[in-house]
Structure 1
């Protein structure tokens, strides 16, 4: 294969992935106004359902426009030899391989983040504001962006520097050391995410003593779930949307409730949601997902080791000096079709896990309380009740509301 043919293969992959995603969005949009199944008739009052359709259409139109603009910018960057331009800038700072790689990706990541600000701003302060979801102030919006960039520089830059260093001293065997590094990092994040990362953006407070906490603790004791911490997070600082999640494992496991969830759901409904989260832990979904993630990371890095040293990757992007960072960019695009397939498989596994967690909540607590909570959350989030089956199969990590209700009532 010549550098020129590889260049157009990269372009073809980018365009094909975009077209497939756009086709799915179009198919999904045609189902927005479908008749609501009988099991879901009580989710929305008529005016709220019309509002949910308008919300979905607004997001659909916005995504089509923003993704098309992003595609055009990316293609221009390719055809105008943008990677070669940035590589030359990075090499003007230093001859050190690690420094060059960090500067190269730093320019791309920060530049990409800056370019995404208008679309993020529009989504937050126009669409989410219009439909009553937004609680983010302009100050919080920009502080969040700055914090994210700083974290990306410190954490992402540190990991990248170590991986490039592994490559410089071990060659193609770097993937083994990189795999160990990323695996340790992934496990650490699973263990300590709530303690280390969440406080940077949100305030977490222990759930106050009272009837809700007593009920949660009584349920936990009943099912043999040793619960160390129950926290409430100030999700209302940014949005009215509600959520709850389980994080960590072993002695570091904790359950976190959004304050909007505590406000919107009854005591029984909140405990039902927590029973679902406990189900994930009891069924060892957290560990299985972690192991699958580590395994996929190893496979990806191994594939990367087979291609990274090939100068054809750099030549295809019009970069004169072959390097790890340029090879990583080209490989990332070449590997994207495979990552789409693995992502689909992970979604299939995830949906199976959601059914199992629902079954656990049904068997240990109350199926109707969970159904009511799911309906309320769908209503409050203006969720899509009639998604296209193809969209569900490819992109949904959770079953649809209808599928979950049918399973819970079996």
Structure 2
């Protein structure tokens, strides 16, 4: 296929994705004023409900502006030779394929992040601040940025270097070796994320002795769940929103509770949330998601190996000299419709897994404290109680609150 045709296919994909997301956001926004289901009328009082409506509308308008900017920036790069300009700069510094690729992606990612930083700053210090969520400071905000850049350079740059090296060594069979490296890295990060990555951004402390820890340990013994690691994370230094998550498996598994969660919920509600997380582990959702991620990575790398040597893909993004890194950009955009489909499947399964984890908590602990905890967390985060079904289908990894409440009430 001629590179000019590929260019217009790439542009069409970007525009169609923008239109789809804009329509979905519009449909979702139309549902903001729908009557709240009877089961959820106790989540907000009238003043809180008005605040949640305003929060959703503000984020909707902000999201529209930021997505228009993002699309405009990408199209400008394509139409006015932005990728060629960056490629010339990187080649002028080094002709080594690996160094050249690292410079190419480094310039693009750093430039993109700098251009979009005002949007994330506004989101944090204007919108989140206005509605009482933000606890961060400008110093912490920019420190997080710097840490994220360093992580991207070390981890992202390292993986990209290995993949290009395999490509130079093994040709189109590089995907097999690259898949092996990425699979090992994925498993390693899943096991040690809380030990290696989280401490760079947050402080984690073991849950202190007391009635809450005793209740958690009693529940864990009851369901035969070996739990040595229950940690509290200082999420309150950035936001008032609460959360809990499960990470790792085997001896490295641990449950992490946000300090805001402990402050906002009763002890039985916290145990119910933990029971939900244990349900994910007991139903093998952790292993399934890890396996699915690795298989999808292999599928993507295989498709990349099929197209990476086609110079038309590089030329389609406007560069004059075909290369692995230029083809990677073109392939990434061309692959995005497939990524949307796999994302839909994963979201569907994720919503199903959430119901299963809720059921596990209901049968091994109790439904009522999980219901009240879900309501409190939704209230605290001013969440949308009436999302549009199409938006849920496309974007939600968790079922809407009303569906979870009704499932727990069966």
Give the TM-score normalised by the residue count of structure 1: 0.99
Distance 2:393 2:3 in 1: 36
Which position in structure 2 is the counterpart of 1:106? 106
Quote how far apart the aligned CAs of 1:362 are.
0.2
SS of corresponding position for 1:231: strand
Q: How does 1:308-319 map to 2 (within 5 A)?
A: 308-319=308-319
Which position in structure 1 is the counterpart of 2:277? 277
Q: How does 1:234-313 map to 2 (within 5 A)?
A: 234-313=234-313
Quote how far apart the aligned CAs of 1:304 are.
0.6
Distance 1:325 1:31 in 2: 43
Displacement over 2 Å in runs of 4+: none
Which position in structure 1 is the counterpart of 2:371? 371
Quote how far apart the aligned CAs of 1:344 are.
0.4
Per-residue CA deviation, residues 252-306 of structure 1 (Å, 9 max, x unaligned), is: 0000000000000000000000000000000010000000000101111101111
Q: How does 1:352-371 map to 2 (within 5 A)?
A: 352-371=352-371
SS of corresponding position for 1:224: coil
Distance 1:53 1:390 in 2: 20
Per-residue CA deviation, residues 96-155 of structure 1 (Å, 9 max, x unaligned), is: 110100100011111111111100000000000000000000100000000000100011
Which position in structure 1 is the counterpart of 2:95? 95
Q: How does 1:143-292 map to 2 (within 5 A)?
A: 143-292=143-292
Distance 2:43 2:301 in 1: 45
Distance 2:357 2:199 in 1: 28
Distance 1:232 1:51 in 2: 29
Per-residue CA deviation, residues 322-357 of structure 1 (Å, 9 max, x unaligned), is: 110000000000000000000000000000100000
Per-residue CA deviation, residues 210-234 of structure 1 (Å, 9 max, x unaligned), is: 0000000000000000001110000
Structure 1 unaligned regions, length at least 5: none
Distance 2:260 2:158 in 1: 36
Per-residue CA deviation, residues 4-26 of structure 1 (Å, 9 max, x unaligned), is: 11111100000100110110000
Query: How many residue pairs end up in the alignment?
Result: 410
Distance 2:320 2:16 in 1: 28
Which position in structure 1 is the counterpart of 2:129? 129
Which position in structure 1 is the counterpart of 2:332? 332
Distance 1:315 1:293 in 2: 30
Quote how far apart the aligned CAs of 1:170 are.
0.6
Distance 2:73 2:306 in 1: 30
Q: What is the root-mean-square deviation in Å for CA atoms of aligned residues?
A: 0.6
Q: How does 1:374-385 map to 2 (within 5 A)?
A: 374-385=374-385
Give the TM-score normalised by the residue count of structure 2: 0.99
Distance 1:316 1:159 in 2: 25
Q: Is the 8 A contact 2:128 2:134 kept in 1?
A: yes
Q: Is the 8 A contact 2:231 2:255 kept in 1?
A: yes
SS of corresponding position for 2:136: coil
Which position in structure 2 is the counterpart of 1:54? 54
Quote how far apart the aligned CAs of 1:320 are.
2.0
Quote how far apart the aligned CAs of 1:317 are.
2.1
Distance 1:48 1:319 in 2: 53
Q: Is the 8 A contact 2:78 2:318 kept in 1?
A: no
SS of corresponding position for 1:21: helix
Distance 2:323 2:52 in 1: 49
Quote how far apart the aligned CAs of 1:386 are.
0.1
Distance 1:50 1:207 in 2: 36
Which position in structure 1 is the counterpart of 2:21? 21
Distance 2:377 2:9 in 1: 43
Per-residue CA deviation, residues 19-62 of structure 1 (Å, 9 max, x unaligned), is: 10110000000000100000001010111011000000000000
Distance 1:271 1:307 in 2: 50
Distance 2:135 2:266 in 1: 23
SS of corresponding position for 2:232: strand
Q: Is the 8 A contact 2:233 2:258 kept in 1?
A: yes
SS of corresponding position for 2:163: helix
Distance 1:307 1:344 in 2: 24
